[in-house]
Amino acid sequence: MKFYLMLTLSLLTGNLVAQKASKIVVDKSCDCLNNEKTAVKNYDEFMGLIVKCVSPNLGDNLQELKTEFGITEKDLMKSMEMIGEKIGEQMVYDCPKFAEMTMKLLGEDKEFQDLAIEELSNENSGSERLADDGTISSIDAASFPCQLSIQTEGGETINVLWLDEITIDQTYVENPSKLKGKKIQFVYEMRKLYDPKLKKYVSKKVLLEMNF
């Protein structure tokens, strides 16, 4: 169900694409949908309307959307799919007309509709990917896990744990200290991790991606 809904937006992202850029896209697209008086009877008509109302707005905001959503994926199609999912989710919740048409397209069965919304809710409840730029000011690689302190361009210090495998030159894997002073673009998320010293779960920032 969620796949069907998200696919609608993902198929458009060759031209589609985040006040926030995502809000601009959602608001303008929703206004266009609200001005359309013709009832949507099938999938082809729905797709035609989405292309008309959403594509132009997304096409103007590709880079802003990638920055807002923390998308650093190099592959165009993969990044477009990720953007399509994000915009699709926002429109379901922030544009009643879009949600109404989508639910009608999915069918009139109430249980089926509830399951679709439940899946979307579960997707939104996951950890949010955050992105920033900065300079690595220090590295604590003496113990596990390795921790990087990053001074952002806004003057904030962000400490992230290097737990996951990331795409990076093997030189830095073998000698993390060489990262000190490097200017980077990085993506991270908040995770609940168990701290045996405190004997409880604590929220920590975990590094997901790093680009120079």
Cα–Cα distances in angstroms (integers) from residue 28 to residues 11, 16, 52, 103, in the given order:
19, 13, 12, 21
- pLDDT tens digits for the chain (212 residues)? 444 455 455 544 433 433 588 889 999 989 999 998 877 777 778 788 888 888 777 777 878 888 888 888 777 667 777 877 888 888 888 888 888 887 777 665 454 455 455 555 554 445 578 888 999 999 998 888 899 999 988 888 999 999 999 888 899 999 999 999 999 999 998 888 888 888 888 889 999 999 88
C-beta separation of 57 from 24 below 8 A = yes
Q: Which domains does the chain carry?
A: 2-124 (no CATH), 130-211 (2.40.50)
Q: Take residue 41 and report the two structure tokens written for it.
A: 């009877």
β pairing state of 183-195 and 157-162:
unpaired
Cα–Cα distances in angstroms (integers) from residue 91 to residues 85, 116, 174, in the given order:
10, 14, 44
Q: How confident is the model at residue 179, as a pLDDT? A: 94
Q: How confident is the model at residue 103, as a pLDDT? A: 77
Residue whose token pair is 């093997």: 170
Cα–Cα distances in angstroms (integers) from residue 90 to residues 9, 81, 122, 193, in the given order:
11, 14, 14, 29
pTM for the whole structure: 0.43
The predicted-structure confidence for 44-72, as pLDDT tens digits, reads as follows 787 888 888 887 777 778 788 888 888 88
**Burial of 26 by CB count in 10 Å (0-12 exposed, 13-18 middle, 19+ buried)?**
buried
Q: How confident is the model at residue 182, as a pLDDT? A: 94
Q: How confident is the model at residue 6, as a pLDDT? A: 54
Q: What ranges in the chain are assigned the alpha helix state H?
A: 2-10, 21-35, 43-53, 55-59, 62-68, 76-94, 96-106, 110-124, 170-174
Q: Measured between alpha carbons, how far is 152 from 125 in angstroms, rounded to an integer?
A: 27
Furthest-apart CA atoms within the chain: distance in Å: 65
Give which of 212, 205, 193 is closest to 159, Cα–Cα.
205
Q: How confident is the model at residue 46, as a pLDDT? A: 79
CA of residue 5 relative to chain centroid, distance: 16
Q: Measured between alpha carbons, how far is 72 from 76 in angstroms, rounded to an integer?
A: 10
What residues form DSSP beta bridges with 189?
A: 206
Q: How confident is the model at residue 8, as a pLDDT? A: 54
Q: How confident is the model at residue 14, as a pLDDT? A: 38
